[in-house]
A and B are shown apart, each in its own frame.
Chain A
């Protein structure tokens, strides 16, 4: 009997530990491993409120356990009629006042933080030369992908956001169709992407994403937006300012680097207006404009994922091109065959497209 209990205890301990270890999640996406000032503030509020709430739970639990242990009928006797107490004004006062005090403890940082996190007044501050001192990114959410425009830099990218570390980055959010929500859990809380108005907030990225196991932070759509809502992921690369500036310069290059290799060249042709006309929806230059029907593919070769969530290799890419509906139900990209007069693409053509797209890169 004793032994059984001991074993059970050990088991309980082990499971608790396991839960706690696994309980923090992955650093790419967990709010419990904050990687930016905003997420850190929010994490601190989480800890503060958890402590206050734990206090409440402990008080309730003690009274609760004592009550149900002490006053069971088996102890009190079948026929015992308890005194019919009406109540106590003093106790009522106590359990009104104490919670109010506890709430005040929470209320002050809540109000402070609410205003602090909404403060975008420095967004438009300009340096001497007329450029703004902070980076602003215009985010457009569309069924089921993300476009990131850097207006000041005149560049556009999609699906993978690139940002400098250790400074405030401002975001303007607008939806191209229906409501979505922009969320990078380990860097900061979400903000809705509404169709009718631009929402603005800021985040800071305190850690370079190259230090992460997967090399990127994970971003999510956090508002139900249709069948593929679950797959409307994006990735975030945070790099130091210098690297960021290099990336911007490379993106600003109007002419994409010449395509190397026969296969890739064939792919380029297929991609072009005389081939399958993929280009009518997808731009391939980072210096292009916004508002494309499909994501800009200028940095496709540098990406961490295909379509925001599939592994980044030619296999997934070819699968995607052949049948986008299979991988993101309800998305707006036509299947390859319909662009090819109803005929499926040959393996060779798919290889060519894949080679071409994988070669699109602005990083060394």
Chain B
């Protein structure tokens, strides 16, 4: 944590984080909670692999197993991968475009707290009568038949956290559109900013269908509506469409920022400008665009008919083209560069073959008739783990090492980092490569056990062994984090030595106003340009030093989200006759939420100014806190 925070008491620090609207602190909140959920999801993964380590295992019961796979998938996608990426977007993107904060600092905080309370709510299902058990895809007929409250936890939890994500998406879009420093044209934006931009646009357009589907689910299960009730004229395929119209863009919401992180890493550690920057940008946009037109490739076996299947098969194949363009441009970026194999770079380099393997199986699945065999088999499990772990998770690990100094002012140990890498990387391929073959050998997905007579024993055992290696890798990473924090060796502006973009031109961590003077951007990789021209300051400025306007901290986002959290419990139980307290709880929760929204809109909040004198003081080494 920042040195400012350490000087405060513990309680004051907590309060500071609960009320902060500073994008860098919100980034830390996202990182910590995303990291926490990543560990939870990881433990669930280990339980799955223990259960499947041998044929006929009875480590987990059938029902529990289904809960665990559902929560594993849901947690990893919604509560781990996406929030951690949001952490990096928050921490880095405003710095990359030379902004003092995001467009809506208040909403930024609100987005985080909604995500956080939604995630907690979902996970509380474990302790309150059982977790959801219809898979992360939550197909409607099974979800409606599911007993207990698990599915309602899923619907309500994801609705809340989904609002949070939507808010974050809008916020980033506006930030990038409006808050770029002078000279930072669109075609000078670092690639991580570009991918943040496109991923945010995908969030904006993909989350509403999911929300609508979740609402239908809530209505059907709790208020006896009939969207999916077949005997009442309902149709469960509607859920599948809504889910995948969200679900496919969702995978690009995850992978595009990962591409962005890797793009930064390739350029930094090859000491070379990104090859084909323009092509990379357009490939990103194209991928985002196509991402909305291929959802039915998850539904080839539903029986939509040959015309639909053929059209969606072709559309899906086309996506491989911009993806390929990216891969080759990265290769040509390191080609002719001067590669330093730091931990982030090792991850980036390892990402290429891993992701290509996942991409090619994606194209194979796009061949609809072949997918009739592959769909819902372990082949699919292998595919999406190759793209998500081999792409997104490697990016998260790489990004953690790369941006740790910028976020916390200290460097993670390179030595331990390499240990983590090797354990994780080998474990990953061991776990998932072999699953392609399990699928081809006829093993369906989402089975809690398998008979010994089907020839799947050996490969499952190997797969489980790999998972252990991954777990060891992650444990080493945790050790690394703790040791680094204890050592607390502070680093300078550009700890990797070869930073190219604006975030490396300012202190690590940056002051809370980021830039005392707004920089003037003179080209792509602006910090690199200044460095090469011998500019010791690393920037030239677009304005003289003057007062800076900053937003006030606010406790309201926390309260709004808390209200929703409370109301959800009321909603969950208010149809149960034996729980008369549920209705009051629902009402109180909603009152808290709407009440605090009202307070927010009625009470003027104009922020405050940091004076020029304070900034000068700060530049001399003293730290202003601004409060």
Q: Which A residues are within 8 Å of any B CB, using their own CB? A: 19, 22-26, 28-32, 39, 41-42, 45-46, 49-50, 53, 56-57, 60-61, 63-64, 66-68, 71-73, 76-77, 80-88, 91-92, 95-96, 99-100, 103, 106-107, 109-111, 113-118, 175, 177-179, 181, 183, 185-186, 188-192, 194-197, 199, 214, 218, 220-231, 309, 329-330
Give the residues in chain A near B237, CB-CB below 8 Å: 194, 196
Interface string of B419-460 (1 = CB under 8 A from A): 000000000000000100100111011111111011110110
B139 within 8 A of A: yes
B222 within 8 A of A: no
Question: Are A31 and B367 neighbours in the complex by a CB distance under 8 Å?
Answer: no
Give the residues in chain A near B572, CB-CB below 8 Å: none
Give the residues in chain B near A73, CB-CB below 8 Å: 338-341
With known contacts A106-B363, A223-B139, A30–B370 Cβ distance under 8 A:
no
Give the residues in chain A near B444, CB-CB below 8 Å: 183, 220-222, 230
Give the residues in chain B near A41, CB-CB below 8 Å: 369
Top-6 shortest CB links A-B: A189-B372, A25-B441, A230-B447, A185-B442, A87-B276, A29-B442
Least Cβ distance of A54 to chain B in Å?
8
Question: Are A82 and B142 neighbours in the complex by a CB distance under 8 Å?
Answer: no
With known contacts A22-B458, A82-B270, A181-B301, A230–B371 Cβ distance under 8 A:
no
Number of A-B contacts (CB under 8 A): 299
User: Interface segment, B27-35, B105-113, B327-335?
Assistant: B327-335
Question: Are A103 and B318 neighbours in the complex by a CB distance under 8 Å?
Answer: yes
Give the residues in chain B near A191, CB-CB below 8 Å: 301, 303, 372
Give the residues in chain A near B335, CB-CB below 8 Å: 63, 66-67, 71
Question: Are B441 and A30 neighbours in the complex by a CB distance under 8 Å?
Answer: yes
Question: Are A190 and B376 neighbours in the complex by a CB distance under 8 Å?
Answer: yes
With known contacts A68-B334, A85-B336, A230-B62, A56–B370 Cβ distance under 8 A:
no
Q: Which residues of B from 309 to 328 have beta carbons under 8 Å from A?
A: 309-310, 313-314, 317-318, 320-321, 324-325, 327-328
Of B235, B271, B309, B451, which one neighbours A309 at CB under 8 angstroms?
B451
With known contacts A72-B339, A99-B324, A113-B369, A86–B314 Cβ distance under 8 A:
no
Question: Are A114 and B272 neighbours in the complex by a CB distance under 8 Å?
Answer: no
Known: A56-B360, A185-B377, A227-B62. 13 other contacts (CB 8 A): A22-B458, A30-B455, A32-B441, A42-B370, A45-B369, A85-B272, A109-B367, A110-B369, A192-B302, A194-B302, A196-B234, A196-B235, A197-B303
Question: How many residues of chain B are within 8 Å of chain A by beta carbon?
Answer: 94
B129 within 8 A of A: no
User: Interface segment, B287-295, B351-359, B480-488?
Assistant: B351-359
Question: Are A31 and B321 neighbours in the complex by a CB distance under 8 Å?
Answer: no
Question: Are B317 and A81 neighbours in the complex by a CB distance under 8 Å?
Answer: no
Q: How far is the CA of A41 from the CA of B62 in the complex (A)?
A: 35
Question: Are B62 and A71 neighbours in the complex by a CB distance under 8 Å?
Answer: no
Question: Are B336 and A181 neighbours in the complex by a CB distance under 8 Å?
Answer: no
With known contacts A190-B301, A220-B444, A71–B339 Cβ distance under 8 A:
yes
**Which of the listed residues B327, B334, B337 has the most CB atoms from chain A within 10 Å of its own CB?**
B337
Question: Are B141 and A178 neighbours in the complex by a CB distance under 8 Å?
Answer: yes
In the complex, 30 of the A-B residue pairs with CB atoms within 8 angstroms, ordered by the A residue number, are A22-B458, A24-B441, A28-B454, A29-B441, A30-B441, A31-B373, A42-B373, A45-B369, A46-B370, A56-B324, A57-B353, A60-B327, A60-B356, A68-B349, A80-B338, A82-B270, A88-B275, A95-B324, A96-B325, A103-B321, A110-B314, A179-B142, A189-B375, A196-B235, A214-B453, A222-B445, A224-B139, A226-B66, A230-B449, A329-B61
With known contacts A221-B444, A222-B444, A189–B373 Cβ distance under 8 A:
yes
Least Cβ distance of A227 to chain B in Å?
4
Which residue of the partner chain A has the closest CB to B369? Answer: A113
Q: Which residues of B from 509 to 568 have beta carbons under 8 Å from A?
A: 532
Question: Are A49 and B363 neighbours in the complex by a CB distance under 8 Å?
Answer: yes
Least Cβ distance of A90 to chain B in Å?
11
Which residue of the partner chain A has the closest CB to B312? Answer: A114
Q: How far is the CA of A188 from the CA of B374 in the complex (A)?
A: 11
With known contacts A31-B440, A99-B320, A118-B305, A111–B314 Cβ distance under 8 A:
yes
B212 within 8 A of A: no
Give the residues in chain B near A64, CB-CB below 8 Å: 331, 352-353
Least Cβ distance of B308 to chain A in Å?
10
Q: How far is the CA of A347 from the CA of B507 in the complex (A)?
A: 81
Question: Are A196 and B236 neighbours in the complex by a CB distance under 8 Å?
Answer: yes
Least Cβ distance of B174 to chain A in Å?
30
Give the residues in chain A near B306, CB-CB below 8 Å: 114-115, 117-118
Give the residues in chain A near B363, CB-CB below 8 Å: 49, 53, 103, 106
B124 within 8 A of A: no
With known contacts A46-B364, A111-B314, A226–B145 Cβ distance under 8 A:
yes
B135 within 8 A of A: yes
B368 within 8 A of A: yes
Question: Are B309 and A114 neighbours in the complex by a CB distance under 8 Å?
Answer: yes
Which residue of the partner chain A has the closest CB to B372? Answer: A189
Q: How far is the CA of A287 from the CA of B142 in the complex (A)?
A: 32
Question: Are A25 and B440 neighbours in the complex by a CB distance under 8 Å?
Answer: yes
Q: How far is the CA of A41 from the CA of B367 in the complex (A)?
A: 12
Q: How far is the CA of A222 from the CA of B375 in the complex (A)?
A: 8
Question: Are B142 and A87 neighbours in the complex by a CB distance under 8 Å?
Answer: no
Question: Are A222 and B336 neighbours in the complex by a CB distance under 8 Å?
Answer: no
Of B310, B320, B364, B442, which one neighbours A50 at CB under 8 angstroms?
B364
Least Cβ distance of B553 to chain A in Å?
42
Give the residues in chain B near A115, CB-CB below 8 Å: 306, 310
B134 within 8 A of A: yes
Which residue of the partner chain B has the closest CB to A39? Answer: B373
Q: How far is the CA of A302 from the CA of B139 in the complex (A)?
A: 36
B262 within 8 A of A: no
Question: Are B313 and A189 neighbours in the complex by a CB distance under 8 Å?
Answer: no
Question: Are B373 and A82 neighbours in the complex by a CB distance under 8 Å?
Answer: no
Q: How far is the CA of A88 from the CA of B356 in the complex (A)?
A: 22
B230 within 8 A of A: yes
Give the residues in chain B near A185, CB-CB below 8 Å: 373, 377, 441-442
Of B63, B275, B375, B445, which one neighbours A85 at CB under 8 angstroms?
B275
Of B376, B441, B453, which one neighbours A222 at CB under 8 angstroms?
B376
Give the residues in chain A near B302, CB-CB below 8 Å: 192, 194
With known contacts A72-B339, A111-B310, A178-B142, A67–B331 Cβ distance under 8 A:
yes
Give the residues in chain B near A221, CB-CB below 8 Å: 444
Q: How far is the CA of A92 from the CA of B327 in the complex (A)?
A: 11
Question: Are A68 and B61 neighbours in the complex by a CB distance under 8 Å?
Answer: no
Of B318, B369, B370, B448, which one neighbours A227 at CB under 8 angstroms?
B448
Give the residues in chain B near A63, CB-CB below 8 Å: 328, 331, 335
With known contacts A87-B329, A230-B62, A224–B338 Cβ distance under 8 A:
no
